[in-house]
Structure 1
Amino acid sequence: MKKRVVILFLCMTMVLSMGACGTDSDKKASTQQGTQETASEVFDGPHSAQMKLDLSKLVTKLADYKGIDVTISGNYDVTDDQVEQNLMSLLPYYGITGVEVKDRDTVQKDDYVKVDYTGYLDGDAFDGGSATDTMIDVANNCDATQKTNYIDGFSDGLVGAKVGDEVSSDVTFPENYQSSDLAGKKTTFKFKIKGIYKPVTMDTLTDDMVADAFTEQKITTKKDLVAYVRQVLEKQAANSKSQASISAVEDDLLDKCKVTIPDEYLDARLQEYQHEFEADNCNDTQTLEQYAKNNNTTVDDMKKQWKELMIKQIKIEFIFGRIAEKENITISDDDFKSFVDYLVSSGNSQMADENAVYKYYGGGNKEDGKKTLRQLYVVNQAISYVVEKANITVKPDTQTTESSEN
């Protein structure tokens, strides 16, 4: 049962996203008082959770759902090259940017150089124009750690300099530069050369470097770091494959089954969705109309899109809810509590505890929210059941493979 619960946690987002609240892309985290007050208001329209549904009549055609054949596209096998690429891109964020060069003291064009620098405008140092112990990728004129680009010509004066030298470069900021004080202005940057480095490679990465950088992760060797990165990538690939399989199974049954949605139920769900959407995105200073205008759309267009998504979502819930009935799929109190605890730990300030979770999904009504979540959880158990029995063919995504090779 534990395995099933883990699978459900991965796919619950797809059903919950249109269950009673906005999708992740719709939501905006906010600490504004107006938003918090709006979010706590109780939805006063008809509650869908209180409506009795006979799925045996609403799902007028339930297609065969055991052992269905579906095909998904994607590349879900993690290669050694992917592990190495991700590992190398990870190192700079943990302070591993280069290996110090000690057999020469002159900067070459493909070096990393550690410098202190200060920018001057008309002879005076300007705000934001200085840094210490910065590692510069000379060849690419960018920060070796963040890979952010510098102004053209910024690092030109470094090639040929020696460790301990002080050199300068004259650069002109672009006319459209974000700071009007610097836009189009000619400036001078003075550098103090503090060390020469070569980019780290898998061959030059050492156990000591790994142990120093990844202390908190308790990773002490290069071999362990490779295993850690591979594990992360494999989990991501498995999650992607799981989501693709869920979508394929849902689409297959949506195409083959027939569902009737009562008008009053659809209206209630749409009203509940709009209530939660406004709670998440609107406040005393921004109405729904203003939100729409700010996002280059209209309320009518938003409602049209919501209705299309909601119809699809409800059909999924009805189909898999009916499957749950036929297969006697139920939910234990322990599993449900684990899921609610998972939502509490999600970081959403409006779901800080168990009661808040229920109110969030019940439009302020705790019992409605609890009933809604239990229904959606059972739906997801049914989805997991069908996915596990499906014959899933994986078709390699050649476009993704070609782009990754390039």
Structure 2
Amino acid sequence: MKKKLFTVLLCGALAVSAVACKKEIKYKASDLVELGQYKGMEITLNNNYEYTEEGFDAFVENSIQQLGIFIPDDSLTTVEEDSIVNVDYVGSKDGVAFDGGSAEDQMIDIANNSSATQKTGYIAGFTAGLVGHEVGEEVAYEVTFPEQYNSPDLAGQTVVFTFQINYIANAIDSKDKLTDDLVAEKIPDYTTVDEYLAALEEKYKDNLETALESDKETAILNSIANGNIGTVEKVPEDLLQARVDMIINMQEKQYEAMGTTMEEYATSAGYDYEETIATLKKNLEESTKTEIILEAIADAENIKIDDGYKEFVKNIYTQMKYNNAEELYSDFSVEGYDGRRYFELAYRTEKALDYLVENCVVSFEEPPLVEDVEVTDDEAVQEDATEESAE
């Protein structure tokens, strides 16, 4: 997904408290920055964005593995340390099944002590007792929950899990193992292998294009931050304070929901609150410099609010669970700088970044090679000793 500059400037926060605007903060971006040559700016990328069969094959294999498709293998009858096993299980404490401790048709990964499909881990020892048992067996053994488990009734408690071993499975982890029947049964919206692979090819090409555009943006933003197309000697203090106020208000609203304040939380975590605010202000000064440079480019290129702004701001307030733009603007208003102005600037600087991406000159270079590190005899001996002690 394409990076959005305004999300960087928001620092990942979710909402702010409404603050009535008083004296409006005024400045002219072109007075604060002396722009250099930004049209046709040169950037260098070292990733490979070209379609290759090797790259596509790796993408296909990873995509198939992420699907988590497993099929029974009747030739496998004994659970091994690296088996994928389908089970039903019931957890009981003092002979009584407890809530959330039972499940059916679960595919578990013995080696990783995790769900084979969801990749989520189990508590220590949950799957180990199945090793060596046969398909069709019922197996029961004790497992102890960790002291810090999120359920007070189970934290630190020893319970009994009873497993029914249904079958041992093989993973479908490459395109060679796919069949039309498997695709139709296991992969929604597709009925044949060819149809699925064709869709993956389109996705792979789209990913390459998206990666190229994203990396262009990153390289341009880095170039701006390094002062290659303009420098801002000093951010106006009132503008910088407005950005600081916005972030503090964002954070305070979140901490208020937790029954505390930003200062109380920082202090309890061992941080000096004043230093925390000073660091925040310093970081915001750098991001605001980038904002000012892009605003100056937007002014120079006569980039204005157009019909695309409505969709832009709608996407934001919808994602942030607001009912409309006015609610968003209200919550993002701070003294001297109202929310509408903030998001309109975000839109214009976003389009200025798009302009730079569209007009940049890209050169590509091979990524640096990682040289093999020679291991001395002493290091090899020490490594062997470490492995033996671990065993």
Change (3 A) 1:398 1:156: farther
Counterpart check, 1:106 vs 2:48: no
TM-score using structure 2 length: 0.76
Residues 175, 111 of structure 1: alpha-carbon distance in 2 compared, 3 angstrom cutoff: closer
- Counterparts of residues 131-210 of structure 1 (less than 5 Å): 131-147=103-119, 148-149=121-122, 151-152=124-125, 154-162=127-135, 164-168=136-140, 170-173=141-144, 176=147, 178=149, 188-202=160-174, 203-210=176-183
Q: 1:319 is matched with which residue?
A: 293
Q: In structure 2, what residue type is equivalent to 1:390? A: C
After TM superposition, give the deviation of residue 390 of structure 1 in Å.
2.2
The one of 359, 362, 373 equivalent to 1:392 is: 362
2:5–2:349: 8 Å Cα contact kept in structure 1?
Answer: no
Partner Cα distance (1:313, 1:185) in 2: 50
**Distance in 2 between residues matched to 1:256 and 1:356, nearest whole Å:** 35
Report the AA paired with residue 116 of structure 1: D
Q: Which residue of 2 aligns with 1:33?
A: none
Q: Determine which of 9, 12, 20 is the counterpart of 1:43.
A: 20
**In structure 2, C-alpha distance between the alignment counterparts of 1:283 and 1:392, rounded to whole Å:** 47
Q: Report the AA paired with residue 296 of structure 2.
A: R
Aligned residue type for 2:11:
T
Correspondence for 1:341: 314
Amino acid at match of 1:15: F
- Judged with a 3 Å threshold, the aligned counterparts in structure 2 of structure 1 residues 376 and 259 are, in CA distance, closer, same or farther, namely farther
Matched, 1:300 2:269: no
| Other-structure match for 2:63 | 87
Q: Deviations over 1:168-213 (max 9, x none)?
A: 4x45537756377767776654332322321223222223333333
SS at match of 1:282: helix
**Aligned-residue identity in percent:** 27
The residue that corresponds to 2:2 in the other structure is 10
Aligned twin of 1:65: 38
What one-letter code is carried by the residue in structure 2 that aligns with 1:135?
M
Q: 1:235/1:43 Cα in 2 relative to 1: closer, same or farther (>3 Å)? A: farther
Q: Deviations over 1:114-150 (max 9, x none)?
A: 2222345565555544322122334544332223245
Alpha-carbon contact 2:78-2:132 (below 8 Å) kept:
yes
Q: Structure 1 residues 114 and 251, CA, compared in 2 at 3 Å: closer, same or farther?
A: same
Q: Structure 1 residues 380, 276: CA separation in 2 closer, same or farther (over 3 Å shift)? A: same
Measure the CA separation in 2 of the matches of 1:161 and 1:10: 50
Do 1:45 and 1:271's aligned partners in 2 also have CA atoms closer than 8 Å? Answer: no
Cα shift readout 1:359-382 (whole Å, capped 9, x = no counterpart): 2333499x9332332233222222
CA RMSD across the alignment: 3.7
- How big is each residue's C-alpha offset from its partner over 1:288-339, in whole Å with a ceiling of 9 and x where there is no partner? 3123235543331232122212222222222222222323x22353121221
Unaligned segments of structure 1, at least 5 residues: 1-8, 29-37
Q: Provide the residue aligned with 2:339 in structure 1.
A: 369
Matched residues in 1 for 2:155 and 2:328: separation? 50
Counterpart contact for 1:245–1:392, Cα < 8 Å: no
* 2:224 pairs with one of 240, 250, 272: 250
